[in-house]
Amino acid sequence: MQELDWLSKNRHSLQGFAGLWIGILGSRIEASGQSFEEVERDLGAMRLSDALIVRIPEDTRWDYLIA
C-alpha cells in the first residue's frame, strides 16, 4: 500500500507525466513510458516486478466518478 499512499499524496505534482504510464516502487518513480507494456518491460529488466504500474491521466481532476 506504500505506493498507493505515495500516489495519493503526490498525484497533483505528476502533471509532467500526464498521458504516460509510470512504475512506482516505494516512493520513487522507477520507469515511465507511452505504454503499459513498455513500463512493465523496463521494470522487469530492472527486476522491479513489485512496482505498481499506473497511468497518469491527462485530465488531472482525478476524483472523477466512474459509477
Instruction: Report the interface residues with another protein, using CB under 8 A.
Output: 1, 3-5, 7-9, 21, 35-37, 40, 43-44, 49-55, 57, 62-63, 65-67
CB of 58 to another protein, least distance (A): 9
CB of 47 to another protein, least distance (A): 9
DSSP state of 63: T
CB of 32 to another protein, least distance (A): 13
> DSSP of 20-57, one letter per residue?
-EEEEETTEEEEEESSHHHHHHHHHHTT-TTSEEEE--
